[in-house]
Amino acid sequence: MRTAVLLLGLAASTAASALDVTLERAVETTLTGQRALRTAQYSVQGEQLGMQTARSAFDLKILPTGSLGRISDSTVTTTTGYNGSVGVQFSKSFESTGTQIALGPSYNRSGGESNTTLTLHVQQPLLRGWDSVVTLDPVRRAEHSYAASQRALDQARVNAALETIGAYYSALREQRMQEFAQHQRRRIEEHTAIAESKERSGLIGPMDLLRAQVRLKDAEDAENQSRVSSQAAMNRLKRAMDVPLDADIRLVQPREAPPDDFDFEAEAVANRVEIVQLRADVDEAVRQAEVAQRNIRPEVTLHITAGQATQVVPFLVQFVPTTSRQWAVYLESSAEFSRKAEENAWRQALLRVESTRLALETKTEEIRRQVREQRLQLADLRVRIGLREEQIRQGESRLALAQVKFSHDMASNLDVIEAESELQRAAASPAGARADYAIGIYQLRAMAGRLLETLGTAT
């Protein structure tokens, strides 16, 4: 509901005042409306339908039957004229034993004769199929594919959230740089105006004034470049949120993201989507190996057929019906004697189990390494932020001193320009470092599989 209100507000903001968007609402909008995520959701729905189809093999099936035709005169048969039949067949397969039962009555008419039949057919696997591991194999495969598609959707949601978070902080950083460039341009304009006044009074030479004017042009160019960069960063955020590019939104400075105190490595190994998927792949490989082992057995099927036909002969007195019954029991088998192909398939399945386990171990170690490297990078960013803030304070002090000396004709405008440049360089670094630090915190949460949870967004 909140997301729908936000989308309506974004649509209205194209022609009205700017709409305030927090980081959490930006992520929520992305997870709700992004086209790539909707495509992943369609994939999940498709796999769910496939799973329902596989499970429907064990549902009670009702199959109407019917036929209609005409038999011409022939020396082979005395039955001529129209013939047809109508009936229904009930069938059921049992997942625990692989038993298949079919029962169906029918009414048949051929020429002037008619009869009713009732047929029962029982099909029972004796070796390979008399096991739920084999009979449920298509269902288990479909369930595994469905669960994998859900995990792929979860991973796509995490990736989309990280993309939005990165674009959000990038847009805030570029806005901050644009504001700083505007502030620098105004300060240099003031300094240039003072330099022009001093040049007219003869206190400074034309070369000092020219330096100030050149620096002003540089500041104006830097302001223009920062404005373009800010607009590009905002467009990137809008594309991540999948909202119109002409939507007028205003970003709200998010609260500082403090580092969490839980065990990131343990959480990553337990919750990371890739690890969970590989564990499921290992279980599925073990199950398929078990099925392949059972498939080495030859397929021997017991068939039991019983039926009766009731016929009314119109030439007999009082149309007395005659009933005939028949049953049959037989075994059917069509298996190769050597079973070489099935044995090789089983060995291949065992190899897949081992390779999947190795992939799980490799991915686990890789994720542990990623978590440790990310924590080291965050620690380095904290140190860099502190150093850059100290450099800003030093740059501000030097600029203030240069301005005082310049106002008392104790320094040239070159000293002021150099102080302005150093302050600008010092101020640009902490803004980027703070954004990188915030993004790194969310990346660390994503590595631990808790990004959407910490954002308050349900998966």
We report the CATH number of the domain holding residue 423 as 1.20.1600.10
Q: What is the pLDDT of residues 427-442, one digit of tens each?
A: 777 778 888 888 999 9
Measured CA to CA, the distance from residue 203 to residue 196 in angstroms comes to: 10
Domain span at 105: 58-136+295-340
- Which residues make Cβ contacts (< 8 Å) with residue 404, sequence separation at least 6? 410
Residues 150, 268: one domain? yes
Residues 402, 257: one domain? yes
459 belongs to a structural domain: no
Q: What is the pLDDT of residues 128-163, one digit of tens each?
A: 778 888 889 899 999 999 999 999 999 999 999 999
4 φ/ψ sector (left φ>0, alpha ψ -120 to 50, else beta): alpha
Domain closes at, from 304, 324, 340: 340
DSSP of 14-78:
TSSS-EEE-HHHHHHHHHHH-HHHHHHHHHHHHHHHHHHHHHGGGS-EEEEEEEEEEE---SS-S
Q: What is the pLDDT of residues 226-262, one digit of tens each?
A: 899 999 999 999 998 888 888 888 888 888 776 667 7
Measured CA to CA, the distance from residue 128 to residue 333 in angstroms comes to: 11
- Which residues make Cβ contacts (< 8 Å) with residue 310, sequence separation at least 6? 115, 116, 117, 321, 322, 323
Q: Is 331 helix (H, G, I), strand (E, B) or coil?
A: strand
Residues 40, 129: one domain? no
Split at pLDDT 50, 70, 90, the class of 412 is low
Measured CA to CA, the distance from residue 339 to residue 22 in angstroms comes to: 65
Residues 300, 257: one domain? no
Asked if 285 and 88 touch (Cβ cutoff 8 Å), the reply is no
Residues 50, 63: one domain? no
What are the helix (H) ranges across 335-412?
A: 340-407
Residues 370, 279: one domain? yes
Residues 277, 396: one domain? yes
Residues 205, 155: one domain? yes
Residues 128, 147: one domain? no
147 belongs to a structural domain: yes
Q: What is the pLDDT of residues 30-60, one digit of tens each?
A: 888 788 888 889 999 999 999 999 999 888 9
* pLDDT at site 4: 47
72 belongs to a structural domain: yes
Residues 230, 112: one domain? no
333 belongs to a structural domain: yes
Beta bridge partners of 210: none
Examine the pLDDT at 80 and tell me if it is beyond 70. no
Q: Work out how many domains the chain is built from and give that number.
A: 2
Considering the entire predicted model, what is its pTM? 0.78
Query: Which structure tokens are listed for 307?
Result: 């039926």
Domain closes at, from 340, 375, 406: 340
Residues 103, 152: one domain? no
Residues 335, 366: one domain? no
